[in-house]
Amino acid sequence: AWKKHSASGFKNKEDFEAAAIRHIETTLARSLYNCDEGAAYGGTALAFRDRLIIDWNKTQQSHTFADQKRVYYLSLEFLMGRALDNAMLNVGLKDVARVEGLADLGFRMEDVIGIERDAALGNGGLGRLAACFLDSLASLDYPAWGYGLRYRYGIFKQEIINGYQVEVPDYWLDFNPWEFPRHDVTVDIQFYGNVRKYNDDNGRQVSVWENGEIVTANAYDVPIPGYNTPTTNNLRLWSSKAASGEFDFQKFNSGEYEQSVHDQMRAETISAVLYPNDNLDRGKELRLKQQYFWCAASLNDIVRRFKKSKKAWKEFPNQIAIQLNDTHPTLAIPELQRILVDNEGLDWDTAWSIVVNTFGYTNHTVMAEALEKWSVPLIQHLLPRHLEIIYEINLHFLQYVERTFPKDRDMLSRVSIVEESNPKMIRMAFLAIVGSHKVNGVAELHSDLIKTTIFKDFVKIYGQDKFTNVTNGITPRRWLHQANPKLSELIASKLGGYDFLKDLTLLHKIETYADDKQFRKAFQDIKFANKTRLANYIKETTGVKVNPAALFDIQVKRIHEYKRQQLNIFGVIHRYLALKAMSPEERKKMQPRVSIFGGKAAPGYWMAKCIIHLVNEVGRVVNNDPEIGDALKVIFIEDYNVSKCEIIAPASDISEHISTAGTEASGTSNMKFVLNGGLIIGTCDGANIEITREIGEDNIFLFGNLAEDVEDIRHQHTYEGVLIDDGLQKVFDAIHDGMFGHSDEFSALTNTVVNHDHWLTSADFEAYCKTHDAIDEAFKDQEAWLHKTILAVARMGFFTADRCIEEYAEMIWNVEPQKIKQNG
C-alpha cells in the first residue's frame, strides 16, 4: 500500500483539528461559534500551509547546499487553479482532514474546497502546461523554480448575458494564503532613458544605460508541493511598485502630490492585469513593459544567486538552465547579454556563448498571426540599450549566415531578426532561436511542421540537432487522482496501490480488465456518477435538466476559429434539423445527446464572440423545443476554468478536438478526457496523432482533411469556386431564416465560410457529421464502448507530464533530480 511520508507538522486527526482551530481563532481572528465555510477553508488551508512551509524550507536549504544545476521555468502564465485540494493530496493527508477533522467541525470537504478561488494567471493551454510542469518538477524531485508575474487580475470571469459574453474583472487576491511576500527581495527595473558611451582605461568601449524611470519588483513566493515527496519547489511571482527613491519624496514634499500618486499607479499598472489574448499577437506597450519587468527581475535574481556561489562565469550554464515558455520571455536573452557585457565586463563572445548555452526555447504555435513581433521604435524608446544589443546579436548572426551561405542573398532578409518593414519589427521567435541552444515544439506533427515552414531556414543554418520535440503531457495527480478519485481508486484496487500516479505507464496493467465484466461495470458506474455530478452542476447553473444517460459530447477550450467550435455548433444545428424532420417514432430511436460547450473569447475577438452567441441561441431554441426533449440538449457552461474542468473532464463520453489540421500545436485537454475514460472525435492534428498511435485507431474517431492538403483546399475554394457542402447549406438557410434569432448576428460567421472557408469548415463538414453518426452507432453497444474506453485509459501512460520533464531534463537542461532527506 501507499505510504505517507512523515515530516513535522500534523500527522493525525487531533493534530489537524487543533491546527485548523488555532488558525481560525488566532490567524483569522474568528470565533468557532460563527465559523462558516470560508473560515473552515481558511483554517484548513493554513494548517496545510504550515506543513508545506516546513518541507519548502528544507528543500530550498538542501538545494542551496547541494550546489547542483537548477532549472528556471520562465512563463508569463501559470494557470494553477485551486491549491488546497492539490496540497492535501500531495502531502497525503486529505482523508485525515476529511473523515474526522472537517466532519467534526460540521463541514463537507467538497464545500470547503469549493470556497477557494482559482489562481487563474493564464489564458489556456500554455499556462496550464506551465502549472502541470511545476507539479511534475516537484514530484520528480528536480531543483526547479518557476518565475512569473503576480497579476492583480487574472483571466477575466465570463458571464453570459442574453447569450453574449460579458467580461468581469477577476480580483483574486483578497485572501490568498498560498503566497508569501518577500519584503527583502526587491529588484529595481529601469525603463526608457538613454545610452552613454565612453572608453575605459584599457580603451574598451563601455555602454551605460542611464536616466531611466525606475520601477521596483517585489517578490511573492508560492510553495509547489511534489506528490508523495518532501520536495517543495518555489514559484516566484513579481509585483510592481513605484520605486521609493528620494526623487518621489521631493515631488511629494514640493506639493506635487497628484503627480506622485499618478507615478505610483503607473508603476503598479505593470503587473495589474493578464493580457487575455490566446494565440494572437496583440501586444501594446504595456505588454512589452510586463515582459521586460519580469525578465529583468528574474534574471537579476538568478544572477545574484549565482554570484553568491563565487563560481567563474563560464560555470553559469553548468549551474543554470532557463526554459522560455514561448517567445514571451525572449527579452531575457539580450538582458543576460547586457548584464554580462555591461555590468560584469565580459567580452561579447564569451558572454554570448554563456547566453546560448543557458537558454532553451519552446514554441507553441505554427500560425503566423500568433508569432510575436515588436516595433523597433517602441523598443528603442522603452529599452534603448537592449535594441543596440539585439542589433549586434543580429549582426553577428547574419555575418555567420553570409559566410556559411554566400550564394543565398535572399536568406539574409528572410532570417534577419529585424524585419525590414515600416516600421521595422523585431521578430521575437528568431531572436529566441538564435539565443538558445535548443528549440522544441510540443507534439511530433507540430515539431515537424515548424522545421519545414516557419523555421525552415534555421534548420539549414544550425542543423537538425538544434530542433527537437517534447510532446506535451498532463499531471495525473490533478487530472486523474484529484478530478476523478473514484476512477483512481478503482485503478489502484487492481494495481495494488497508487504507484501509477508517479509512473503512469503502469496503467497498461489494466488492459486485461477491458474484457472483465465486473470491472467494466465498475468503470461504467463511475462514468455515470461523474456525468450525474456534471448534470447537477448544469441544472444548478443553467436551470436546464440533462439526462445523465444521454451521450455527453463536450468541447471546452478557448474559443478560436482554428479550434472550430463553429464546426461543432453547425453540426449540432444539422442534427437538430434532422431530428425535426423525423417522426416521433424515428426520433425515439435516436441516441440522446447533450452537446456541451465552454470557453472564453478574447475580449477583442469579435468572431469568437459570435460563436458564443450562436451556441447560446441554439441552446435557447433546442432546449425549449417540446418535440425534441432528451434527444438533444445544448449547453454553454459559463466561465470555463481549471476547477470547472476538474468536474467536466471525468464526465465526457466524447470530447471534441477538431482544429483545422496543422493548426493546434498539441492540445492537452484531449489527454485529460481520454485519461478519464472518454473517447475523442478529432482531426489528425497536434497530439491527437500520437494519442491515436498509443491507444489504437479503433479507439478514436478521426475525420477530416490532412495538414498537407489544407493549402490546396483553401486555394480551390477561393479560386475555383467550390460550392459549400449541401448539409451545411441547409444549416445556413435555417440561420438565415431566423431560426436562432436575427440572422444579421451570425452573418460574419457564415460569410467567412462562403467566401474563404479558411478553416475548412465546409470542406470537413460532411466527414464530421458522418463521424458523429458513427459515434451514435458505437455508443449503442455499451460493452464494446467500455472495451474501447478501458483500453484507451490503459494506454495513456505516455502522456504524463512526468515523461515531458524527464525528456526536457535529459535533452535540454542536463539536470538531475535531487532527493530531499526525510525528517531532517
Residues that bind ligand 26Q (CB under 6 A): 123-126, 129, 275, 277-279, 281-283, 287, 364-365, 370, 372, 442, 472, 664-668, 686
Q: Which is nearer to ligand 26Q, 107 or 673 (CB)?
A: 673
φ and ψ of 554, to 5 deg? -120, 130
> Do residues 123 and 159 touch, judged by C-beta distance below 8 A?
no
Among 378, 553, 541, 363, which Cα is nearest to 441's? 363
Q: Which is nearer to ligand 26Q, 560 or 788 (CB)?
A: 560
Q: Which is nearer to ligand 26Q, 433 or 550 (CB)?
A: 433
Shortest approach of ligand 26Q to residue 558 CB, angstroms? Answer: 7
Shortest approach of ligand 26Q to residue 139 CB, angstroms? Answer: 19
> Cβ neighbours of residue 123 under 8 Å, at least 6 residues apart?
77, 79, 155, 274, 276, 277, 278, 558
> In one letter, which amino acid is 383?
L
Q: Which is nearer to ligand 26Q, 566 or 663 (CB)?
A: 663
Q: Which is nearer to ligand 26Q, 510 or 665 (CB)?
A: 665
Shortest approach of ligand 26Q to residue 287 CB, angstroms? Answer: 5
Rounded alpha-carbon distances, angstroms, from residue 512 to 184, 495, 515, 681? 57, 11, 7, 25
Q: Which is nearer to ligand 26Q, 191 or 374 (CB)?
A: 374
DSSP for 310-379 reads T--GGGHHHHEEEEEESSTTTTHHHHHHHIIIIIT---HHHHHHHHHHHEEEE-----GGGS-EEEHHHH
* Given the residues 236, 478, 520, 558, the one annotated as active site: 558
Residue 321 β-bridge partners: 71
| Helices and strands, counts by H and E, the chain | 34, 24
Helix (H, G, I), strand (E, B) or coil at 702: strand
563 belongs to the catalytic site: yes
φ and ψ of 471, to 5 deg? -65, 135
* Given the residues 563, 575, 717, 772, the one annotated as active site: 563
Q: Retrieve residue 251's grid coordinates.
A: 515631488
The Cα–Cα gap between 610 and 483 comes to 31
Q: Which residue is nearest to ligand 26Q (CB)?
A: 125
Shortest approach of ligand 26Q to residue 559 CB, angstroms? Answer: 13
Handedness of CA 678, 680, 686, 690 (dihedral sign): positive
Q: Retrieve residue 34's grid coordinates.
A: 460563527
Shortest approach of ligand 26Q to residue 275 CB, angstroms? Answer: 4
Shortest approach of ligand 26Q to residue 652 CB, angstroms? Answer: 18
Handedness of CA 302, 305, 310, 315 (dihedral sign): negative
Q: Which is nearer to ligand 26Q, 571 or 686 (CB)?
A: 686
Beta strands 164-168 and 157-161, pairing class: antiparallel
Shortest approach of ligand 26Q to residue 321 CB, angstroms? Answer: 19
668 belongs to the catalytic site: yes
Shortest approach of ligand 26Q to residue 544 CB, angstroms? Answer: 30
* Given the residues 557, 657, 795, 803, the one annotated as active site: 557
Based on the number of CB atoms within 10 Å of its own CB, is 106 exposed (0-12), middle (13-18) or buried (19 or more)?
A: exposed
Handedness of CA 37, 39, 40, 41 (dihedral sign): positive
Shortest approach of ligand 26Q to residue 53 CB, angstroms? Answer: 31
Q: Which is nearer to ligand 26Q, 135 or 725 (CB)?
A: 135
Phi-psi region of 36 (alpha: psi -120 to 50; beta: other; left: phi over 0): beta
Shortest approach of ligand 26Q to residue 648 CB, angstroms? Answer: 17
Q: Which is nearer to ligand 26Q, 601 or 622 (CB)?
A: 601
**Beta-carbon neighbour count of residue 316 at 10 Å?**
21
Residue 425 β-bridge partners: 375, 419
> Cβ neighbours of residue 18 under 8 Å, at least 6 residues apart?
10
364 belongs to the catalytic site: yes
Radius of gyration of the chain (CA): 28
Based on the number of CB atoms within 10 Å of its own CB, is 824 exposed (0-12), middle (13-18) or buried (19 or more)?
A: middle
> Cβ neighbours of residue 378 under 8 Å, at least 6 residues apart?
285, 288
* Given the residues 451, 672, 788, 795, the one annotated as active site: 672
Q: Retrieve residue 590's grid coordinates.
A: 435516436
> Do residues 279 and 558 touch, judged by C-beta distance below 8 A?
yes
Q: Retrieve residue 44's grid coordinates.
A: 484548513
Among 128, 216, 90, which Cα is nearest to 558's? 128
* Given the residues 94, 117, 128, 364, the one annotated as active site: 364
Q: Retrieve residue 288's grid coordinates.
A: 512589452
Q: Retrieve residue 258's grid coordinates.
A: 497628484
Q: Which is nearer to ligand 26Q, 372 or 639 (CB)?
A: 372
Rounded alpha-carbon distances, angstroms, from residue 183 to 199, 219, 238, 239, 484? 38, 7, 12, 11, 39
Shortest approach of ligand 26Q to residue 87 CB, angstroms? Answer: 24
Q: Retrieve residue 523's grid coordinates.
A: 468503470
Shortest approach of ligand 26Q to residue 126 CB, angstroms? Answer: 3
- Name the residues annotated as catalytic: 364, 557-558, 563, 668, 672
